[in-house]
Structure 1
Amino acid sequence: MRSFALHAGSMFDGYTLSGPATVYVSGDRIVRVDRTGGLPADGSEVIDFGVSACLLPGLIDTHVHLAFDAGTDPVTSLVSTSDSDLLTQMRTAARSALQAGITTVRDLGDRGYLLLDLVEEMSVHPELGPEILAAGPPLTTPGGHCHFFGGEVEGTEALRAAVRERHARGCGVVKIMASGGHMTPGSVPPHASQYSLDDLRAVVDEAHRLGLPVAAHAHGMQAIRDAVEAGVDSVEHVSFLTADGIAADPDLIDAIVAKGTFVSVTLGLDPEEVERLPKRQADYLSAVMDAYGNLHKHGANVVIGSDAGIGPAKPHNVLPHGVANLAGLGVAPLDALRSMTSSAARLCRVEGRKGRISAGADADLLVVDGDLAHDPSAVLDVRAVFRAGTRVR
């Protein structure tokens, strides 16, 4: 079992930023953290990244789709790709995320549980990609949003059975499409609900009985309201859409905060691709960013996912850009980083193992160059990535 120490001029441990630190690793775990700033004198192997470097936990992306290729038509590509080729594509996507310092991903929709093969592979060879928390095919209505993944289901008993199937197969989360979406021609519009409050309650009750969290895709106001009332663990996107546009409801924001529901806002965006967006999409993005600002100011449990894979602006390594994306909203870089580390770990039920630098945590570590407290782009200047104690970059 290999043991070594990492030293850097500063450290963000998932909660706070401090000065020089040395992190001791044995095998795949962190065994000790020394904040005195001194280098070990016991002959330990030391990798000293220097005074300008910062150590931080590997990032957690709370919303990805490894099955999407981040092309201009990811749905057509998915539907026309064989299982073997799709698995190869997902391996490449996972590797891309890991190289960016994303060491855990919550995948909220793949085709036919194919991703579980990759989960098993990476449990044996963690150096090949991030730890994957898979939802399998998201629950959706017949012909509903993302029905092409294979998760069409309706009716209370069928929904409960679908939850049990995901649990039996080894999924780590249940995803339900509470509203329509933007990527499925012929389905209900994004502002419209797909499931009733009673349907959502049935899914939440069954999932929680089995120890699984529930993530609800919800763009529309009523879908968001129902998902929160039903007790889902996270609401994805939270666009506050109505038939007339976007209008964040203060009472609904208060309900989200009071309930303690996590809000997974999908804001990771490649800035170069954003500049190419048509005005309609750019205006929509601006309104969503404003809605996020309101949630953040009111104290909601906000985490940042990327929705990686759904288009050219969202490649699978895009999450770190979310820190810089949020700076324009007045969100402090360290708050953004908490939403991708310790807060995300809490949502994903991996708190203690992930999203923090402390004794006993997984040795999933990122080393960047720069002052994270004042320069959000520093998270993009990657010096090294460690996954389960193995250096992968």
Structure 2
Amino acid sequence: MTAAARHATRGGVTTVRDLGDRGYLALALRDAVAGDPTLPTIVAAGPPITTPGGHCHFLGGAIAGTAGTAGGAAGVRAAVRERAERGADIVKIMASGGNLTPGTRPERSQFGVAELRAAVDEAHRLGLPVTAHAHGTQAITDALAAGVDGLEHVSFMTADSVEPVPDAVLAAVVARRVALGITIGVKPVPGFTPPPAVLSRLPLLHAGGRRLYEAGAVITAGTDAGIAPIKPPDVVRWAVAQLAGIGMTPVDALRAVTSVAAAVCGLGDRKGRVAPGFDADLLVVAGDPLRDPAALHDIRAVYVRGVPVSH
């Protein structure tokens, strides 16, 4: 994880949000940042809350209890309290299954509204935001009903396609300013491609993202950095150009990975902008990324909290 964090800074990523680790390792790395100027600022969730055998259960965040039962809600509350006691910055809960975990399905819900609401209520009581991994429409709808602060992926996947964004969901995410981490960002690597289940749905996924963007939703690039060679720790550099696929203008794409992302991470008062009083986190490139996003790969210097980082 330390090597991945340094890879990120060398690529110009000066702040990261880790929404799923094993054994709270990201929190330990976060706390080491003060003594190591080569590490980015880290916002950490710890192991994501999931069901036994559920999405990313191998990270150790599975709880007992059946969806919709009082026991399940109590288990979720206890899991949130554990993360707060360990010093997590945010709570991540797997509202649906995902492509990464055999035996789970993205379109299937893992928690009911009662359990998701228990997570939100307990987290907010303890001063923590909640973001939900949610692919299927039911999981997205339930997470919104529960009052989550953010949604990751928000793809509206079905077993073999993608559903249009429902009007009620669109209205809710825009009115409540729910932060959407749209899954985007791929580095071209010979011999590697996204999973077929994703590639076949890409036009429909982009159409859904475009509708959310045009309606004024809060959108960041949820890159899933680090899970594959096509998603290295600094993959967000490629996401900027790819955000054009959902209709983003170049300036909105840059804001999505800087000032908007900083606000979503709870750091909008000191990150994401070049302004007096803000941290001196700087990526210096040759060229104008507003005209050519590929300029982001021509890195000349990186500064993390005012300290130059070799790249």
Q: Tell me if TM exceeds 0.5.
A: yes
Deviation at 1:372, TM superposition (A): 2.4
Does residue 208 of structure 1 match 2:124?
A: yes
Residue aligning to 2:113: 197
- Output the amino acid matched with 1:321: W
Residue aligning to 1:253: 170
| Larger helix percent | 2
Q: List aligned pairs for 1:35-50, cutoff 5 A.
A: none
Residue aligning to 2:100: 183
Secondary structure at the aligned position of 2:155 is classed as: strand
* Percent of pairs with identical residues: 53
Deviation at 1:271, TM superposition (A): 2.9
Measured in 1, the distance between the counterparts of 2:175 and 2:74 equals: 30
Q: Paired residue for 1:117, among 28, 45, 57?
A: 28
Q: Paired residue for 2:267, among 336, 350, 355?
A: 350
Q: List aligned pairs for 1:1-393, cutoff 5 A.
A: 90-125=1-36, 127-153=37-63, 154=65, 155-187=72-104, 189-251=105-167, 252-272=169-189, 276-277=193-194, 280-393=197-310
Measured in 1, the distance between the counterparts of 2:113 and 2:160 equals: 23
Q: Determine which structure has greater relative contact order: mean sequence separation of CA pairs < 8 Å that are 6+ residues apart, divided by chain length.
A: 1
Deviation at 1:312, TM superposition (A): 2.3
Cα distance change, pair 164–276 in 1 and its aligned pair in 2 (3 A): closer
Measured in 2, the distance between the counterparts of 1:340 and 1:323 equals: 7
Deviation at 1:184, TM superposition (A): 1.2
Cα distance change, pair 328–141 in 1 and its aligned pair in 2 (3 A): closer
Deviation at 1:379, TM superposition (A): 1.8
5+ residue gaps, structure 2, are 66-71
RMSD: 1.7
Secondary structure at the aligned position of 2:209 is classed as: helix
- Output the amino acid matched with 2:131: A
**Matched residue pairs, number?**
302
Deviation at 1:257, TM superposition (A): 1.3
Measured in 2, the distance between the counterparts of 1:195 and 1:269 equals: 30
TM-score if structure 2 supplies the norm length?
Answer: 0.92
Deviation at 1:325, TM superposition (A): 1.0
Measured in 2, the distance between the counterparts of 1:255 and 1:316 equals: 32
Secondary structure at the aligned position of 2:301 is classed as: strand
Deviation at 1:285, TM superposition (A): 3.0
Superposed CA offset, 1:325-353 (max 9, x none): 12344321110111111111111111111
**Residue range with higher mean Cα deviation, 262-271 or 367-376:** 367-376
Tell me, yes or no, if the aligned pair for 1:104 and 1:131 is still in contact at 8 Å. Answer: yes
5+ residue gaps, structure 1, are 1-89
Higher CA-based Rg:
1
Measured in 2, the distance between the counterparts of 1:326 and 1:369 equals: 21
Tell me, yes or no, if the aligned pair for 1:323 and 1:377 is still in contact at 8 Å. Answer: no
Residue aligning to 1:15: none
Measured in 2, the distance between the counterparts of 1:271 and 1:376 equals: 15
| Larger strand percent | 1
Tell me, yes or no, if the aligned pair for 2:189 and 2:229 is still in contact at 8 Å. Answer: no
Superposed CA offset, 1:339-380 (max 9, x none): 111111111111111111111111111111212222122222
- Output the amino acid matched with 1:137: P
Cα distance change, pair 328–216 in 1 and its aligned pair in 2 (3 A): closer
